[in-house]
Structures are given as C-alpha cells and as structure tokens.
Amino acid sequence: MPIIELRNITKMYGITPAVEELSFTVEEGEIFAVLGPSGCGKTTTLRLIAGFEKPDEGEIILEGRTVADSNTFVPAEKRRIGMVFQDYALFPHLTVKENISFGLKGLTQIEKDSVVTNMLDFVGLRGLENRYPYSLSGGQQQRVALARALAPRPITVLLDEPFSNLDTDMRTQMREEMIRILRKSRTTTILVTHDQEEAFAMADRVAVMNRCRIEQLGTPEEVYHHSATSFVAGFVGKADFIEGVVEDEGIRTEIGIFPDNTILTKGDKVHIMIRPDDIEIFVDEHGCAVIIDHQFKGSEIIYTLSLPTGRCIHSTLSSSKTYQTGTRVSVKAKPAHIVAFKNGRAVSKTTQ
C-alpha cells in the first residue's frame, strides 16, 4: 500500500488552475521529487498534501486514510506530516533543543528529552542544543529544521526547496547529509525543487511538472535518457534538437543517418534530441561542423558547434582534449541515447 496517493487532484485560484488532474503515489521509504519551473504548481502540490490547501477536485490518501476529497478534509495538524520550509522557519527565541521538541505532544519531559537527544545525535548537532538559531550556520539551521520535522515520527517529510538559501559548496554537502539521514531513518519524503541536479541526486523517482500538470514520472535515468516531451528533455539537462526525416535507411539529419527507432513512417519529419555528453568530435577538414566557441568547466569543456544550416549543437569532452575555435570537425552521436520528437512528444519506441 502506498504511503501517499493523489488521485486526479485539481486546485483552482479563481479561474486560474494551480494544479490539474494530478495523480501519483509514493511508497514507504521512497524519496520522491517534484521538479519543475517556477509557477508550475510544485509548492501548491506540497501544500495540498500538508493540508494547508484544500483541493477542488480529487482525493488525497495518507497511509490508506482519505484526508481530502469532496466530503472530507483533515486539517494539517492531524495529518502527521513533517515539513522543512525554504527558510527553515525556526523559532528565533527558542534554543536548538526547544525547536526540536516543539512538535512533541503528549510526552513527559523525560520522554521529550530522550527524543531530542537521539535526534541531536542522529543529525550531528550534539553540543549545540543550547544555542539559538542566529548563532548557527545555514547548514546547521537546516539540520535543526530536519530534526524538528523527524522528531514526532511523521508519516512523511515534505521538503520545500530546502537548499536554495545555501551557497554552492554547502548545498552539495548538505544534500549528501540529508540523503544519509533520510535513508538511515527510512523516511518517506517528497522534495520540491526547480534544480534537476538536486532532484536527480536525491530522488528514487521524479515527477516533472509543467503548466500545472505532470509531463513525465520515472526514475532519474528514465527521465533524462528517455524524456517523454521536448519540454522535459530541455528542462532536465542541456539538450539540442536537430531536424530529421524518416527514410528507409533511418532518420536522415545534417550530421548523418541515425537508426530509426520510432513508430513513424517514411517521410515523417521529426526533431532529434541529442545531449552534449552524447556527441563526440574529431578533427576533419571535410567535417560537417565548425567549433565556434568553448567553455572551460574544469574537468570538462563544452564546445559549441555550428552546422551547415547555421544550427548549433554542443559537445562535452574531457578537458584533456582541447580544440581551437575555428577547427572543422566531424560529429559522431551515440545512437542509444537519441530520442525523436514529433509535435513536442517523444515517438521513439523505447519511450512507449
């Protein structure tokens, strides 16, 4: 039985939809990411699950119990859900210990102290229990917020853009720490983020949202390599699209013929998605492309290649391989990672 289930959830603000016909399940112990751009309905989805908003249509089920439908609405405080907000929402006048124990109801003081001590050890904050939030680093504040969410042993923990207030180095470190804590506690988790790297690094499955709906739901590998729509392909990683035509020999493009793995017929026009890490280049005075720019990224270099039609594609190579701007090259793509789209929808057999 899923821990969380949403069935055809719709939420309107006036005449404007916030989410439409949203359906998914989250299994026990799973880390589930809701990924998408600003305004797509991610945070509204979280607020509906938490009980801060009531759906206009559909049903929300937690541990087999309906908490929201046309006849039922269980308020937030009775849903046993922990939440870590974007700004952590710690009480500035309470110590670390007091913040963590805030949501512990119906326990004696001795029992509360025991839970808090265990949580301090669990998140690595022992010795800081009498400090106030202002004296903690951003990473330490985040761990306090997570400990407070986990302390009452909730059904699930909801994370709303939890790393957005941290710098790049701290974000990576805290992401690894949070994964460790959530996996160790086997906490069912829903993460809302606009950062695909964050979603892919943390989640078992990812739901990509666009314009209030889920466009694709799958593992990070499925979403990245076999994107269901051109929007998903472009959002979850850098993607280039080149035009192609289905022929007897395969799909003909300006950089060569690719195997036809589509459900289309001869003469149909498609757009082929190719990612920079799927493109190899070789110096060739008769090649079809010219290097017009490059970006050094430390361990890798991203080359911008101009094709005969003027369209540009990109190639990511190890920084040990260096080519000068203006070099003419031939291009080789790895067919296993190529996805064809028609009218914005994937038409490759591997995505059906």
pLDDT of residue 205 exceeding 80: yes
Residue 351: the pLDDT is: 44
Q: What one-letter code names the amino acid at 210?
A: N
| Contact call for residues 346 and 226 (beta carbons, < 8 A) | yes
The overall pTM is greater than 0.85: yes
CATH number, domain at 310?
2.40.50.140
Residue 91 and residue 129 in one domain: yes
Residue 289 and residue 316 in one domain: yes
CATH number, domain at 211?
3.40.50.300
Structure confidence at residue 339 as a pLDDT band (50, 70, 90): confident
pLDDT of residue 49 exceeding 70: yes
Q: Mean pLDDT across the stretch 91-111? A: 91
What would the two tokens of residue 159 be? Answer: 């994370």
The count of structural domains within the chain is 2
Structure confidence at residue 86 as a pLDDT band (50, 70, 90): confident
Residue carrying structure tokens 């080359």: 303
Q: Based on the number of CB atoms within 10 Å of its own CB, is 320 exposed (0-12), middle (13-18) or buried (19 or more)?
A: exposed
Residue 335: the pLDDT is: 66
Residue 19 and residue 68 in one domain: yes
pLDDT of residue 352 exceeding 60: no
Residue 215 and residue 244 in one domain: no
Residue 59 and residue 194 in one domain: yes
From 208, 232, 256, the end of a domain falls on: 232
Residue 273 and residue 225 in one domain: no
Structure confidence at residue 171 as a pLDDT band (50, 70, 90): confident
Residue 245 and residue 216 in one domain: no
Q: Mean pLDDT across the stretch 320-332? A: 92
Residue 80: the pLDDT is: 93
Using one digit for the tens of pLDDT, what is the confidence trace for 173-189?
A: 888 888 998 998 999 99
pLDDT of residue 73 exceeding 50: yes
Structure confidence at residue 138 as a pLDDT band (50, 70, 90): confident
Structure confidence at residue 336 as a pLDDT band (50, 70, 90): low
Using one digit for the tens of pLDDT, what is the confidence trace for 275-287?
A: 998 899 999 999 9
Using one digit for the tens of pLDDT, what is the confidence trace for 217-249?
A: 999 999 998 899 999 999 998 899 999 999 998
pLDDT of residue 3 exceeding 70: yes
16: phi then psi, degrees, rounded to nearest 5: -100, 125
Residue 284 and residue 221 in one domain: no
Residue 337: the pLDDT is: 67
pLDDT of residue 1 exceeding 90: no
From 182, 208, 232, the end of a domain falls on: 232
Residue 199 and residue 295 in one domain: no
Structure confidence at residue 338 as a pLDDT band (50, 70, 90): confident
pLDDT of residue 145 exceeding 50: yes
289: phi then psi, degrees, rounded to nearest 5: -130, 160
Beta bridge partners of 210: 213
Residue 307 and residue 218 in one domain: no
| Spatial separation of the C-alpha atoms in residues 280 and 88, rounded to whole Å | 44
Question: Mean of the per-residue pLDDT values for the chain?
Answer: 92
From 167, 199, 232, the end of a domain falls on: 232
What would the two tokens of residue 140 be? Answer: 């330490």
Residue 174: the pLDDT is: 86
Residue 143 and residue 178 in one domain: yes
Residue 224 and residue 336 in one domain: no
Residue 261: the pLDDT is: 80
* Residue 118 CB partners (closer than 8 Å, separation 6+): none
| Domain around 38 | 4-232
Residue 344, Ramachandran bin (φ over 0: left; ψ between -120 and 50: alpha; else beta): left
- Reported residue count of the chain is 352
Helix H, strand E, coil C: the string for the chain is: CCCEEEEEEEEEECCEEEEEEEEEEECCCCEEEEECCCCCCHHHHHHHHHCCCCCCEEEEEECCEEEECCCCECCHHHCCEEEECCCCCCCCCCCHHHHHHCCCCCCCHHHHHHHHHHHHHHCCCCCCCCCCHHHCCHHHHHHHHHHHHHCCCCCEEEEECCCCCCCHHHHHHHHHHHHHHHHHHCCCEEEEECCHHHHHHHCCEEEEEECCEEEEEECHHHHHHCCCEHHHHHHCCCCEEEEEEEECCEEEECCEEECCCECCCCCCEEEEEECHHHEEEEECCCCCEEEEEEEECCCEEEEEEECCCCCEEEEEEECCCCCCCCCEEEEEECHHHCEEEECCEECEHHHC
